[in-house]
Amino acid sequence: MRKQIKQMLILQDQMNTKVHPEWRQQHFKWYRAIWLESAELMDHHGWKWWKKQTPNISQIKLEVVDIWHFGLSLLLQQYTQVNDIVDKIQMTFNQKKKSDKKILDCVELFASEVLAFQNFPLNEYYDLMLSIPMTFDELYRDYIAKNVLNFFRQEHGYQLGTYKKNWNGREDNEHLVELMYQFSHDSGTFYSDVYEALEQRYSEV
C-alpha cells in the first residue's frame, strides 16, 4: 500500500505542476473543488425523490477518485514530507471498519467537514468509500486511469478551451471507464495503454 500511495502522490504533483509550475504557491481552493465534486457524486447517485433514478456506480467511483485528486493536492500543500502523508493515509486505510451508512449520508457528512474546516477529512472519506463499497485497490486503479485522462485533457487543449469533453454525445469520463477495463492495472504498461486507447478513441470521434 505504501508504494501505491507514494506513486499516486508523485503523479498528483506532476499533474499539478503541469497545470501550474508553482502550484504550491498559488494556494488554490482545493476544498472548494472537493465539495463541488461531492455534489456531482450525489447527482450520479440520484437524490430526487420525485423521479426514478438509478445510481451509476462506475461514475460514483470516478467522482470519489476526482475528490481524491484534490485531497492529495491539499495534503501535498500542507505537508513538507511525503512520507508523513503516506503514514497518515495508510493509517486511515488500515482501519478495520464496516459501514452500514447510506452513500448520500456519507457524502453529506464528508462535505460538511470539508466546508467547516476547509480540509480533507480522511476518516470521513474512507467511510464514504466503504458505503459504496469501494476498495483501496479500486481507488488506486481508477486514480491511475483518471490521472491519464487529466494529462490527456491538458495535452489536448483543456486550459486553452479547445479540448472537446463530449465525444459523440458522451463525456470523456464514460469513455475512460469503458476503455480502462480492457487493460490490467497490475501491468507495467497500464498508464500508456490507457493513454493510447484514449488517443485513438478521441481521434476517431
Query: Which three cell numbers mark 186?
Result: 497490475
- Residues in the chain where the model's pLDDT stays below 50: none
For residue 70, how many C-alpha atoms fall within 13 Å in the half-sphere facing its CB?
23
Amino acid 8: pLDDT: 95
CB atoms inside a 10 Å sphere around CB 63: 21
CATH tag for 2-204 (out of 3.50.50.60, 3.30.1700.10, 1.10.4010.10, 1.10.510.10): 1.10.4010.10
Helix/strand number for the chain, H first, E second: 9, 2
Q: Given this model, what pLDDT does residue 98 score?
A: 81
pLDDT at 33: 97
The pLDDT of residue 100 is: 86
List the beta strands (DSSP E) in the chain. Answer: 166-167, 170-171
Residue 21: count of CB within 10 angstroms of its CB:
9
114 grid coordinates = 470539508
Residue 75: strand, helix, or coil = helix
Taking the CA atoms of 142, 102, 67 and 97 in sequence, report the sign of the dihedral they define: negative
Are 74 and 11 contacting, i.e. CB atoms less than 8 angstroms apart? Answer: no
- Measured CA to CA, the distance from residue 142 to residue 165 in angstroms comes to 19
- What are the Cα distances from residue 77, in Å, to 11, 93, 159, 187? 14, 21, 22, 30
The helix/strand/coil state of 25 is helix
CA–centroid distance for 35 within its chain: 13
**Max CA pair span of the chain:** 49
CA torsion angle for 181, 133, 95, 67 (degrees, to 10)?
70
pLDDT number for residue 109:
97
Phi and psi torsions of 60, nearest 5°? -60, -45
